[in-house]
Amino acid sequence: MTDAVPQASSSKYVGFGRRFLAFNIDLLLINLITLLIILPLSFSVGFAVGASGAPKSSLSWLNILSGLIGLSTAVGYYVLFWTKQSGQTLGNRLLALRVIKEDGSELDVGTSVIRYIGYVLSGVILGLGYLWVIFDSKKQGWHDKIAKTYVVESGGKSRTGLAIFIVGGIYLLTITAFIGAMFLGIFAINAIKNNPQIKRELPGLAVADYKKNMAPEAKVHYDRYNALVNQAKTISNNSSLPLAEREKRIRPIADEFIGELKTAAQLDPQNPVIWVELGNAYTWPNTVGTKEDSLNAFKKASDLEPNITVYINFVGDTLFDLGRYDEAIQEFERSISISENSGYAHLSLGKAYAKVGKNDLAKQHLQRAIDIFLAENKDNKYDNQIIDARKVIDSLPK
């Protein structure tokens, strides 16, 4: 049995405060119901996709489905309670209010759906449609006017104190969680900046930090280097020019950007990013520098940041190019001791072992490189490295 339906003309319209509390309680319940549906589905689908080895991009449809489930839950919740419970959702019942048509009758499915659409429209412009209740003589929001409904007293006892406790608790927990997450984020950023273990696993963060904190006078020359190297890359990529002509045009530019980096290194000698770029700059063809110059620059960067494997690998690769294979092996082994999952270090170490005739060790590290690259090769990013490693393995004595 439901309570008798009040006539609109004889019922007391309910204002913004109690309606706000009821709305938030309903919102909490809708979110809980949605979560109970989506979480098991997400875990099941995620586990199935992970087990099958399918790319994570195949889960994109799950976001769309989750949104549809949330929308369906909200519409279903309101339509069910408005039509089957005399216009009272659970939040409305707690606050002793109900929704009726302007003629005093109960809501039907059509009116309920229209009112929910009005809910959405009320929130579009900074929630102005909801706030309209405060100023309207009959306490109607935009959604009420669209659906031709009123929110009135149900005649029951309003548990306003309990509702305030529930809603206030929800908002307090939300604010606390937000502040906690903010401070946790600050703590995490500081940990990344100061923890060498994290720096070596995420070298990009360390590099960004060094670029940001570069001495201003050094950065002037570093920025000039970047502008010049972009010019050189444009010429290098111009396939309409013969190779000899490209190298001829690049030579004076390369000599100039090497000069800019050398000046930057003098002004900020403790910045490994500058030394790494200088090492790379010396590798451009026909420049004023040599492989030994490149090696010295890479070593300087590695000495300044001994736990960043990328820098160690640069040293090892240059030693390899110079034919100093035993020294290269030492560098790559040091890199792997810091980060065992460095595919590049395993690949280069395998090649170096092959050069000194240690074929079993070469095969071991080359296969390890292949395994690492395959595990991360969802977008074919490491195809060339995998092919390179397999070619070296195939070239070794059986």
Q: What is the pLDDT of residues 273-293, one digit of tens each?
A: 999 999 999 998 878 889 999
Q: Count of CB atoms within 10 A of residue 311's CB?
A: 29
Tell me, yes or no, whether 379 lies in a domain: yes
Number of separate domains in the chain? 2
Q: Which of 158, 179, 212 is the last residue of a domain?
A: 158
The verdict on 17 and 145 lying in the same domain is yes
Q: Which of 107, 124, 158 is the last residue of a domain?
A: 158
Tell me, yes or no, whether 142 lies in a domain: yes
pLDDT at 52: 53
pLDDT at 365: 96
The verdict on 301 and 390 lying in the same domain is yes
Tell me, yes or no, whether 170 lies in a domain: no
pLDDT at 18: 94
pLDDT at 55: 53
Q: Which helix (H) or strand (E) holds 153?
A: strand 149-153
Q: Which two tokens stand for residue 379?
A: 């977008």
Tell me, yes or no, whether 184 lies in a domain: no
| C-alpha to C-alpha distances, 326 to 19, 143, 302, 323, 391, nearest whole angstrom | 77, 77, 18, 9, 22
Torsion sign, CA atoms 16, 17, 22, 24: positive
For the chain, which ranges sit under pLDDT 50?
Answer: 1-6, 9-10, 196-202
Tell me, yes or no, whether 284 lies in a domain: yes
Q: Which two tokens stand for residue 52?
A: 């099958």
The verdict on 245 and 358 lying in the same domain is yes
Overall pTM > 0.75: no
The verdict on 238 and 102 lying in the same domain is no
Per DSSP (E only), the strands in the chain are 97-101, 149-153
User: Containing domain of residue 35, as a range?
Assistant: 8-158
Q: What is the DSSP string of 15-52?
A: -HHHHHHHHHHHHHHHHHHHHHHHHHHHHHHHHHHHHH
Give the list of residues 6+ apart from residue 291 with CB closer than 8 angstroms, or none.
Answer: 282, 318, 321, 322
The verdict on 205 and 72 lying in the same domain is no
The verdict on 153 and 217 lying in the same domain is no
Q: Which of 92, 123, 158 is the last residue of a domain?
A: 158
Tell me, yes or no, whether 189 lies in a domain: no
Tell me, yes or no, whether 163 lies in a domain: no
Give the list of residues 6+ apart from residue 57 with CB closer than 8 angstroms, or none.
Answer: none
pLDDT at 198: 45
CA pair distance 141, 196, nearest whole angstrom? 57
Cβ–Cβ under 8 Å, residues 98 and 92: yes
Residue with tokens 């000194």: 356
Tell me, yes or no, whether 196 lies in a domain: no
As to burial, measured by CB atoms within 10 angstroms (0-12 exposed, 13-18 middle, 19+ buried), residue 333 is middle
Question: Taking the mean position of all CA atoms in its chain, how far away is CA 2?
Answer: 50
The verdict on 32 and 141 lying in the same domain is yes
Q: Which helix (H) or strand (E) holds 315?
A: helix 309-321
pLDDT at 43: 78
Cβ–Cβ under 8 Å, residues 204 and 308: no
pLDDT at 1: 40
The verdict on 118 and 47 lying in the same domain is yes
pLDDT at 58: 54
The verdict on 285 and 217 lying in the same domain is yes
CATH label of the domain that carries residue 276 = 1.25.40.10
The verdict on 208 and 356 lying in the same domain is yes
**Could you tell me which residues are beta bridge partners of residue 211?**
none
pLDDT at 61: 76
The verdict on 236 and 365 lying in the same domain is yes
CA pair distance 233, 256, nearest whole angstrom? 14
Cβ–Cβ under 8 Å, residues 386 and 374: yes
